[in-house]
């Protein structure tokens, strides 16, 4: 089983729609969780951290479910500029600060 798994997509969503992605992780001891976005042929950029209580940043909402070992990202009122690959990232912690990336979920917003 992969350490971090995502549905690769692609998700083709009309502009203005709401879209959600999930990501599962295998190590129940994992401590930190993030969503990054990666545009084509570019480096990943931090979108948001994911906190146990869930957190929101504008149109983006991230949630963590430790019992089921998954995190989610919800994008409301999607914009054309949201088209990208969204990467789920997990850090084990306890001195191991290695970022473990999922393969990413590709999102295309259609006009």
Strand partners, 41: none
Options 12-20, 53-61, 69-77, 100-108: segment touching other proteins (CB under 8 A): 100-108
- Whole-number Å distance between alpha carbons of 89 and 94: 16
Comparing C-alpha atoms, which of 82, 56, 48, 54 is closest to residue 70? 54
Our CB check for other proteins shows the closer of 69 and 103 to be: 103
Question: Degrees (nearest 5) of the Cα angle 82, 88, 92?
Answer: 155
Options 21-29, 52-60, 75-83, 101-109: segment touching other proteins (CB under 8 A): 101-109
Our CB check for other proteins shows the closer of 40 and 67 to be: 40
Our CB check for other proteins shows the closer of 1 and 111 to be: 1
Options 15-23, 36-44, 61-69, 75-83: segment touching other proteins (CB under 8 A): 36-44
22 interacts with other proteins by CB under 8 A: no
Q: How far is CA 96 from CA 34, 99, 100, in A?
A: 16, 9, 11
């Amino acid at each position: 089983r992969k350490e971090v798994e995502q549905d690769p997509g692609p998700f083709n969503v009309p502009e203005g729609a709401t879209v959600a992605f999930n990501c599962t992780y295998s190590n129940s001891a994992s401590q930190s969780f993030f969503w990054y976005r990666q545009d084509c042929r570019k480096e990943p950029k931090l979108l948001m951290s994911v906190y146990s209580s869930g957190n929101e940043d504008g149109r983006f909402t991230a949630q963590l479910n430790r019992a089921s070992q998954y995190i989610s990202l919800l994008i409301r009122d999607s914009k054309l500029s949201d088209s990208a690959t969204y990467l789920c990232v997990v850090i084990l912690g306890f001195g191991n600060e290695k970022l473990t990336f999922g393969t990413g979920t590709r999102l295309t917003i259609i006009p």
